[in-house]
């Protein structure tokens, strides 16, 4: 297992998330949990949705296996980027033209005045998408070179840009703060792209890119089959990777019908939930994916299974510890991070309850990130898309059932239930026989005992904290 790559990813993600929490801390202080924070959460939802889909799986998990298999790699990569970037630019233009209509789809519970205000910020922030797609493209090429640190640390630049924009306008009106934040999102995207260009040049990737451009006209037919295979896998991969992101999108849609602040409660709680998911599961899966893809292409299946076994036990221990700690200390976590300024004690209790519901699903979502790699490395993106479709149907059923009695908590719980369904379906396609190779009785007993001791220790510490 690529331990160095995992630590590079984890270190970068941790560094980025520290600044991300600082960003959210300042945002909670200057905006609170009200209609204004809801407006920003809605405007930021769409570019953030696409960022997570592209950057955390869909593109690289289709591009890297296809790039490895392609005979004319430079021409193939230029063909892919030219096609997709053109589509994204057209989409960005359409979103700007129809920003009000898009805002109405994102938050149908908003009134006309609120939608008009939201539309302005949606139009500005969506231009982040073409920037982050170029970042993702260069990041995938760097992953192929087994360089992970740049992409892992790059998101920090987005958070820094947003923090600076809030600090500069913290004494302005709420609308002015949101406007500054929107331009801060674009500034962060530009900084990330610039960093990737500099590092790509160091790895001589820009020279390969120039070669691909100069030869694409003469040799584009030679990469036609590779291009078709990529797109045949890419669009199912988008859907297969987007279960968690689409559910977050639907959370916002449904929460717009609840009391003001519900969208923000989901946003703040989901930010905590995403930390261990990104720090452990996404970091590990990104690090081992190129290796797993190469082993499967070389038909070294047993060696690939060994990678999955190591990854499974590492993730299970780390994610379980995160779940227990997140649930036991949910109130304390939210109090420590957010309760200041416009963020009240009542907001803390509400967000902590939502966080608890999210944390229930952390283990299946994290493990699913690992085992879904088997499908992508074997060019089985269509199966991943089928799993995503079934999972979202389950989510819709539970979300509609739970939103009335439980409010925002019900939406978070519906997502967690969906995580278990998605993981079960992924393991079914991965193969029960392979899963049996990964799990053994001795390791399972050791895990259960350590879990019991760890849970007892945290509960004892929590009770002492409350007593003091």
pLDDT, one tens digit per residue, over 42-53 is 888 777 777 766
Q: Where are the domains of the chain?
A: 3-467
Q: Among the residues of 360-380, which ranges form H helices?
A: 362-377
Structure tokens given for 86:
């053109």
> Which of 9-13, 242-246, 434-438 has the highest mean predicted lDDT (pLDDT)?
434-438
**Band of residue 442 on the pLDDT scale cut at 50, 70, 90:** confident
Place of tokens 């409350």: 466
What span, in angstroms and rounded, lies between the C-alpha atoms of 231 and 79? Answer: 11
Q: Can you give the pLDDT at residue 84?
A: 87
For 197, how many CA atoms within 13 A lie in the half-sphere containing its CB?
A: 10
36-40, 100-104, 422-426: least confident range? 36-40
Q: Can you give the pLDDT at residue 207?
A: 76
Q: Can you give the pLDDT at residue 70?
A: 81
30 pLDDT above the threshold of 80: yes
Segment 122-144 mean pLDDT? 89
**Band of residue 359 on the pLDDT scale cut at 50, 70, 90:** very high
User: What single DSSP character describes residue 439?
Assistant: -
Segment 280-291 mean pLDDT? 79
Q: For the chain, what percent of residues have pLDDT higher than 90? A: 35
Q: Can you give the pLDDT at residue 73?
A: 81
Question: In terms of Cα–Cα distance, which of 419, 427, 425 is closest to 312?
Answer: 427
29-38, 60-69, 181-190, 212-221: least confident range? 212-221
Question: In terms of Cα–Cα distance, which of 232, 240, 227, 214 is closest to 67?
Answer: 227
Backbone Cα Rg of the chain: 22
Q: For the chain, what percent of residues have pLDDT higher than 70? A: 92
> Which of 57-71, 142-156, 173-187 has the highest mean predicted lDDT (pLDDT)?
173-187
Q: Mean pLDDT across the chain, nearest whole number?
A: 85
Q: Can you give the pLDDT at residue 205?
A: 84
Q: Residues near 297 by Cβ (< 8 Å), separated by ≥ 6?
A: 65, 68, 69, 377
Q: Can you give the pLDDT at residue 361?
A: 95
Q: Can you give the pLDDT at residue 244?
A: 67
Segment 315-339 mean pLDDT? 92
Instruction: Answer with the residue of higher pLDDT: 165 or 82.
Output: 165
364 pLDDT above the threshold of 80: yes
Structure tokens given for 165:
């924009």
Instruction: Please answer whether residues 324 and 456 qualify as being in contact, where contact means their C-beta atoms are separated by less than 8 angstroms.
Output: no
Q: Residues near 312 by Cβ (< 8 Å), separated by ≥ 6?
A: 367, 370, 438, 439
Its sign, for the CA torsion 260, 264, 266, 269, is negative
Instruction: Answer with the residue of higher pLDDT: 305 or 35.
Output: 305
Q: Can you give the pLDDT at residue 360?
A: 96
User: What single DSSP character describes residue 380?
Assistant: -
**Band of residue 433 on the pLDDT scale cut at 50, 70, 90:** confident
How far apart are the two ends of the chain, measured CA to CA in Å? 44
215 pLDDT above the threshold of 80: no
Q: Identify the burial level of 460 via C-beta atoms within 10 angstroms of its C-beta, where 0-12 means exposed, 13-18 middle and 19 or more buried.
A: exposed
Segment 420-425 mean pLDDT? 95
Instruction: Please answer whether residues 41 and 264 qualify as being in contact, where contact means their C-beta atoms are separated by less than 8 angstroms.
Output: yes
1 pLDDT above the threshold of 60: no
What span, in angstroms and rounded, lies between the C-alpha atoms of 9 and 154? Answer: 11
Segment 423-445 mean pLDDT? 89
Q: Can you give the pLDDT at residue 6?
A: 60
Segment 371-377 mean pLDDT? 85
CA dihedral 236, 242, 243, 248 (to 10 degrees): -150
11 pLDDT above the threshold of 80: no
Q: Can you give the pLDDT at residue 447?
A: 93
CA distance to 63, 69, 142, per residue, from 293 (Å): 11, 10, 15
Segment 365-381 mean pLDDT? 86
Q: Residues near 363 by Cβ (< 8 Å), separated by ≥ 6?
A: 316, 319, 320, 323
334 pLDDT above the threshold of 70: yes
CA distance to 69, 71, 79, 213, 335, per residue, from 219 (Å): 17, 11, 10, 10, 59
pLDDT, one tens digit per residue, over 175-197 is 899 999 999 999 999 999 999 99
pLDDT, one tens digit per residue, over 65-106 is 788 778 788 888 888 888 889 988 999 999 999 999 989 987
Q: Can you give the pLDDT at residue 214?
A: 66
Residue length, the chain?
468
Q: Residues near 137 by Cβ (< 8 Å), separated by ≥ 6?
A: 59, 63, 77, 80, 81, 84
Segment 431-441 mean pLDDT? 87
What span, in angstroms and rounded, lies between the C-alpha atoms of 453 and 457? Answer: 6
Instruction: Please answer whether residues 244 and 422 qualify as being in contact, where contact means their C-beta atoms are separated by less than 8 angstroms.
Output: no
Instruction: Please answer whether residues 10 and 283 qualify as being in contact, where contact means their C-beta atoms are separated by less than 8 angstroms.
Output: yes
268 pLDDT above the threshold of 80: yes
Instruction: Answer with the residue of higher pLDDT: 361 or 215.
Output: 361
Q: Residues near 114 by Cβ (< 8 Å), separated by ≥ 6?
A: 35, 39, 107
What span, in angstroms and rounded, lies between the C-alpha atoms of 442 and 465? Answer: 35
396 pLDDT above the threshold of 80: yes
**Band of residue 2 on the pLDDT scale cut at 50, 70, 90:** low
């Amino acid at each position: 297992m690529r331990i160095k790559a995992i630590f590079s990813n984890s270190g970068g993600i941790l560094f980025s998330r520290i600044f991300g929490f600082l960003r959210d801390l300042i945002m909670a202080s200057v905006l609170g949990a009200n209609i204004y924070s809801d407006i920003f959460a809605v405007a930021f939802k769409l570019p953030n949705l696409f960022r997570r889909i592209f950057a955390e799986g869909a593109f690289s998990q289709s591009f890297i296996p296809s790039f490895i298999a392609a005979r004319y790699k430079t021409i193939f990569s230029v063909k892919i980027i030219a096609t997709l970037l053109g589509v994204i630019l057209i989409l960005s233009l359409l979103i700007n033209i129809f920003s009000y209509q898009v805002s109405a789809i994102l938050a149908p519970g908003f009134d006309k005045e609120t939608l008009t205000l939201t539309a302005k910020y949606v139009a500005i922030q969506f231009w982040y998408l073409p920037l982050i797609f170029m970042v993702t493209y260069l990041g995938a090429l760097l992953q192929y070179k087994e360089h992970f640190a740049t992409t892992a640390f790059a998101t920090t630049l987005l958070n820094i840009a947003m923090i600076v924009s809030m600090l500069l306008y913290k004494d302005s009106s709420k609308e002015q703060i949101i406007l500054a934040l929107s331009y801060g999102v674009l500034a962060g995207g530009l900084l990330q792209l610039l960093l990737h260009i500099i590092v790509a040049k160091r790895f001589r990737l820009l020279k390969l890119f120039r070669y691909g451009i100069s030869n694409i006209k003469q040799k584009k037919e030679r990469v036609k089959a590779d291009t078709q295979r990529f797109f045949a896998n890419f669009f199912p991969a988008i859907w297969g990777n987007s279960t968690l992101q689409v559910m977050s999108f639907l959370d916002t849609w449904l929460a717009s019908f609840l009391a003001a602040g519900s969208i923000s409660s989901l946003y703040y709680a989901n930010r905590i939930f995403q930390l261990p998911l990104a720090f452990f599961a996404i970091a590990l899966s990104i690090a081992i994916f190129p290796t797993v893809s190469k082993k499967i292409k070389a038909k070294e299946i047993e060696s690939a299974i060994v990678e999955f076994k190591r990854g499974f036990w590492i993730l299970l221990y780390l994610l379980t510890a995160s779940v227990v700690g997140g649930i036991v200390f949910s109130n304390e976590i939210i109090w420590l991070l957010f309760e200041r300024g416009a963020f009240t004690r009542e907001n803390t209790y509400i967000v902590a309850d939502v966080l608890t519901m999210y944390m229930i699903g952390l283990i299946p979502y994290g493990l699913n990130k690992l085992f879904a790699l088997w499908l992508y490395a074997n060019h089985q993106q269509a199966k991943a898309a089928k799993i995503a479709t079934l999972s979202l149907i389950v989510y819709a059923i539970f979300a509609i059932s739970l939103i009335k009695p439980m409010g925002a908590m019900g939406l978070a719980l519906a997502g967690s239930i969906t995580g278990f369904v998605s993981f079960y379906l992924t393991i079914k396609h991965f193969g029960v026989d392979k899963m049996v190779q990964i799990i053994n009785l001795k390791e399972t007993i050791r895990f259960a005992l350590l879990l019991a001791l760890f849970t007892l220790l945290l509960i004892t510490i929590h009770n002492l904290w409350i007593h003091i």
